[in-house]
Amino acid sequence: MAVAAAEGAQRSGMVVVLPGLYVGGAESCSSPEALAAAGVVAVLTVDAEEAPLPAAVPGVRALHVRARDEPGADLLSRFDDCAAFIGAARATGGAALVRCAAGVSRSAAVVTAYLMKSEGLRREEAYAAVKAAKPDVEVNPGFEGQLKLYEAMDCAVDVSSALYKRYRLQMVTQRYPELQDLPQEVFAVDPTSICQTPNTEVLYRCRKCRRSLFHSSSILSHMEGSGPTAFAHKRITDSTQLHDHGRDKCTSYFIEPVQWMEPVLLGVMEGQLLCPKCTSKLGSFSWRGEQCSCGCWVTPAFQIHKSRVDEVKTLPVCDFQAAKT
């Protein structure tokens, strides 16, 4: 019976990856009989437009993830939702079908992410399993990068992580090439609008006027570059201009955009970042990217010079009370 169902599913364009999990192209939903025989109770469509299910398929749940098969399309932010949808179908003893136009890139990326999350597989292992089931799958380079990032985040989309914030900023530059009407979730909350800084956070203030600028959670770390050798093309010969590796290699903080920056960033590719209170220069920004003093190229870059800000660490309440006694 199971063999017959699998063969019927294969003929209709559905390929079994795991028991209760199929992947396919647009034609995989063309046969209500094949869907019923395969026990499909949920269909996940990853496409630019939503394709309706056949009318003769009652009781089948549907989820549409809007995405084109382009490297700049965002699947990462939906990986957890997709995994939950697939998992819920399989948990009831039914099957889930993940489909896209050709069943080659988008659906394969989603199924790979699901295997990573549900089966604890490494990215390469999960992708190999999908490709073994359907040899023609070929995830585009953008989705491959998103799967790598998903793995780096332990297969859970954490919107507060520096990795995800940097990814989100890179997506913004592709979705909003004119940099107008940027989504508000791109901007971190202005510290001046927060009554109290959490004990786990470090607050950074303008050294000149003491205006609060950003929290430590807004700092986006980057891989250390190659140091002075990265600047050889600039023909810097003065040793005082070359970065001394005995000191702090990164002389700036690269952060996510903060709400007070919004008027400066909209519609502009690059420029200076000035204190919103005293207008002293804090650093610079470039959606194209800037080079850190350590040599690493950061894209996009919102750079605040460490010499222009001061750290303000919050004293834990318990320690403060202990100090009073």
Considering only CA atoms, which of 279, 317, 113, 107 is closest in space to residue 196?
A: 317
Model pLDDT, residue 50: 81
Q: List the chain domain ranges.
A: 2-157, 184-313
Among 100, 275, 292, 294, the one annotated catalytic: 100
Model pLDDT, residue 58: 74
- Token pair of 232, please? 């050889």
Model pLDDT, residue 300: 93
The question of whether 100 is a catalytic residue gets the answer: yes
Task: Give the number of other Cβ atoms within 10 Å of residue 319's Cβ.
Answer: 10
CA distance 125 to 18: 14
Encode pLDDT of 269-291 as tens digits: 999 999 999 999 999 999 999 99
CA distance 35 to 181: 43
Global pTM? 0.79
**AA identity, residue 141:** P
| Surface-to-core class of residue 156, CB atoms within 10 Å of its CB (0-12 exposed, 13-18 middle, 19+ buried) | exposed
Model pLDDT, residue 165: 92
**AA identity, residue 153:** M
Task: Label residues 27-49 b or e (16+ Cβ within 10 Å = b).
Answer: ebbebbebbbbbbbbbbbbbbee
Encode pLDDT of 138-158 as tens digits: 999 999 999 999 999 999 999
Encode pLDDT of 8-40 as tens digits: 455 568 999 999 999 999 888 888 889 999 999
Residue 271: strand pairing partners: 285
Model pLDDT, residue 224: 85
What CATH architecture does domain 2-157 belong to? Alpha-Beta Complex (3.90)
- The answer to whether 291 touches 229, Cβ cutoff 8 Å, is no
- Token pair of 172, please? 């913004």
CATH of domain 184-313: 2.170.150
Low-confidence ranges of the chain (pLDDT < 50): 1-5, 8, 231, 235-246, 317-325
